[in-house]
Amino acid sequence: MRKLETTDRRALLGHPSQVWTSGLARRLALVQRYIPLEGRRLLDVGCGVGIFLRRFLELSPAVCGIDIDPKSLREAVQVTPTVALAVAEHLPFRDAAFDVVFMHEVLEHVQDDRAALQEACRVLGPGGHLVVFCPNRFFPFETHGVFLGRRYIFGNAPLVNYLPDPLRRRLVPHARAYTAAGLRRLWRGLPVRVLVHTQVFPGFDKAAWRWGPAGRALRELQRLEGTPLRILGLSHFVILSRES
């Protein structure tokens, strides 16, 4: 991914979660449906201000986080001192240091997504789990904003993800979106097996806040996760199990 000539932090760093929402709580519950988190050694890659770190500490005392943004880490360190300034492609930890590596809407922003997955595998012990949430190419909206020339326009852009790759990359050079096949190619050859790979719909928290009952009604779309229409979900939800 090429470097951007912009000072807009939302484009450079994504839009890290600042508050705990029902949508984030739902995602954490989905993870716990498949793997235990209690008492495990947890690493949050791209921890931001520590939204998930705070929840992880309720489940385990052995929690660490890394992020590339010093400003976010100044807040995260108030949650736990075990955070570090680092990139996902070069984690400052020994081999097999963790039982769970968590990457929530981070993979799309790193310079080298394959290298980031390789590093996650390196720091996972045998039988550990890599949890990934990342953008789905078939979601009808691009949620990271778009560039028109050098002007960054923040917000949801409809149908951008359906454009051919070269045009989408011009509009959204700062964030990837993945097809299921593209993700499978990304982890091919790594020492992992797939425990879960599906798509999830949004939590619609902003819609509920703005529009009340009408916004909350959108959560009925989450029922589509049990149907083939889950392919239109906001994010991929993946759990990979580290093999020996």
Q: Is the pLDDT of residue 15 over 80?
A: no
| 71 CB-near residues (< 8 Å, 6+ apart) | none
Other CB atoms closer than 10 Å to residue 33's CB: what's the count? 9
| 42 CB-near residues (< 8 Å, 6+ apart) | 56, 59, 60, 62, 63, 64, 98, 99, 100, 102
Question: What is the average per-residue pLDDT within 234-244?
Answer: 97
In this prediction, residue 150 carries a pLDDT of 86
Query: What digits encode the pLDDT tens for the residues 199-218?
Result: 999 998 888 888 898 888 99
Q: Is the pLDDT of residue 164 over 60?
A: yes
Nearest Cα to Cα of residue 102 among 112, 91, 172 = 91
Question: What is the average per-residue pLDDT within 27-47?
Answer: 98
Query: What digits encode the pLDDT tens for the residues 98-153?
Result: 999 999 999 999 999 999 999 999 999 999 999 999 999 999 999 999 999 889 99
- Burial classification of residue 225, based on how many CB atoms lie within 10 Å of its CB (0-12 exposed, 13-18 middle, 19 or more buried): middle
In this prediction, residue 195 carries a pLDDT of 98
Question: What is the average per-residue pLDDT within 33-40?
Answer: 98
Query: What digits encode the pLDDT tens for the residues 70-79?
Result: 999 999 999 9
Query: What digits encode the pLDDT tens for the residues 44-63?
Result: 999 999 999 999 999 999 99
* CATH code of domain 16-138+177-242: 3.40.50.150
Q: Give the sign of the dihedral formed by CA 86, CA 37, CA 196, CA 27.
A: negative
Q: What is the residue-averaged pLDDT of the chain?
A: 93
Q: Is the pLDDT of residue 185 over 60?
A: yes
- Which pair of tokens denotes residue 224? 């589509």
Each domain of the chain, given as residue ranges in start order, spans 16-138+177-242, 140-176
In this prediction, residue 35 carries a pLDDT of 98
Residue 216's SS3 state is helix
